[in-house]
Amino acid sequence: MLRDRDAGFYLSGVVVSGFGTSALWLASGVWVKDLTGSDGLAALCMLAMWLPALAGPLLGTLADRVRRKPLLIGLNLLLAGLLLTLVSIDSPGRLWLLYAVLFVYGAAGVVHDAAESALVARAVDPSLLGDFNGLRMTATEGMKLLAPLAGAGLYAAYGGASVALLDAATFVLATGLYAMLRVREEKPAPPSGSRRRQTAEGVRHLWAHPVLRPLVLAGGATMLCAGVNGAMVYAVVDGLGHSPAYTGVLYAVQGAGSVAAGLLSGSALRHLGARRFAASGIILLALAVALRAVPSDPVALVCGAAIGAGLPAVLIAALTSVQRETPGALLGRVTATANTLVYTPNVVGLAAGAALVELVSHRLVLVALGVALLVPAGALCQSPARAERTASRSSSDANPA
């Protein structure tokens, strides 16, 4: 995989831009907290970045209307320019600019991910897509381990504007890496019908496909439970008798598990297939989440690594299947739709978990989550032929003659 020139440049771009994004993700909340003293306003930074994902199916159509490589270059330059405006923020009265930039950042990210997926599907051999997506996951998780620390140090030394400048520089560097990709793209055919019709075409393809629908639905259900589990982390740390700072140790171990899973995912996909690979990961996640209820440091560390290893399986399986099973003309909007269905439930889960942890023992919640995760795993374990018959019946019921 790494001997492929285009894959190497693309992964380098992921590492570079991911470093800047992860650094800004942490620094923006700290920046707002320092200027206002409000936890709620600091939390709005994450909301501003996530909110555009709800419009993923619509935004994804942009990635199918133009050539993907120029679109990626343009988006990177746009974000680099927008980030430069943040150097003027020096008081609470100018925080509206930060929120506006973060919102555009999130919207551009949705289009960026859709265009990336479509471009990769064209540039990388289909047999290596699983390996590529696994390495991409490894690069992304690796940056999550390193970049927040670098961002926090840079912020402490020079302030929020310095982190914004760092992120802008990473986008400029990523632009150069994307420009070096040797990918030939034909100009897309003029769009037929309204934007709503184009969006609906992507949704219909995803929903009617017997391979993609169960994987995406399982991914959404898994991320919903993962969100609830994430909200329990401080209660788990408290139950272990540690200070909140110990959360960083658990996140680091979880990140290491995700890095390992990314390196192994290509081989696992070839040997198990997408459905069994995803189901195996969800089962591992279910066991690890339930066992977090045990108040033991060694168990907590092992479970953290297992969660990091299990969770990416369904995400990598779903994305790789979308790339393999979707026509190129639809790939941008189908990818964006799949990402919305998979990742948005995580935000819902975080909110639900934040409420549950105040009302119910976190140990009961963790055991219940472990049981609940077996449902999407079981759905993926049914035979593909049976799944296809089920999907066909559902499609017939939804579209009567």
Report, in this order, helix, strand and coil percent for the chain, each rounded to 5. Answer: 85, 0, 15
Cβ atoms of residues 251 and 301 within 8 Å: no
Q: Residue 53: its pLDDT value, please?
A: 83
Token pair, residue 365, equals 């919640």
Per-residue pLDDT of the chain (401 residues; tens, 9 = 90+): 667 777 778 888 888 888 888 788 778 887 888 888 876 677 678 778 888 888 888 888 888 888 888 999 999 999 999 999 999 888 888 889 999 999 999 899 889 888 888 888 777 777 788 888 888 888 877 776 777 677 778 888 888 889 899 999 999 999 998 888 877 777 766 666 666 777 788 788 888 889 899 999 999 999 999 988 888 887 888 888 877 667 767 878 888 888 888 888 888 888 989 999 999 999 999 999 999 999 999 999 999 999 999 999 999 999 899 988 888 888 888 888 888 899 889 888 878 887 887 788 889 999 999 999 999 999 998 755 555 444 444 334 434 43
Q: Residue 154: its pLDDT value, please?
A: 85
- Say if domain 196-396 classifies as CATH 1.10.3720.10: no
Q: What is the DSSP string of 121-178?
A: HHHS-GGGHHHHHHHHHHHHHHHHHHHHHHHHHHHHHH-HHHHHHHHHHHHHHHHHHH
Q: Residue 393: its pLDDT value, please?
A: 45
Q: Residue 245: its pLDDT value, please?
A: 62
Give every CB contact of residue 338 below 8 A, 6+ residues apart in sequence: 206, 212, 216, 219, 318, 319, 322
- Domain ranges for the chain, please list them: 1-180, 196-396
DSSP structure class, residue 187: P
Amino acid at the residue 66: V
Around Cβ 228, how many Cβ atoms within 10 Å? 26
The number of helix segments (H) and strand segments (E) in the chain equals: 16, 0
Assess whether the region 1-180 and the region 196-396 belong to the same CATH fold. Answer: yes
DSSP structure class, residue 104: H
- Could you give the CA distance from residue 266 to residue 152 in angstroms, rounded to a whole number? 34
Give every CB contact of residue 24 below 8 A, 6+ residues apart in sequence: 83, 151, 163, 164, 166, 167
Q: Residue 299: its pLDDT value, please?
A: 93
- Could you give the CA distance from residue 2 to residue 7 in angstroms, rounded to a whole number? 7
Around Cβ 30, how many Cβ atoms within 10 Å? 17
Q: Residue 305: its pLDDT value, please?
A: 92
Which CATH number applies to 1-180? 1.20.1250.20
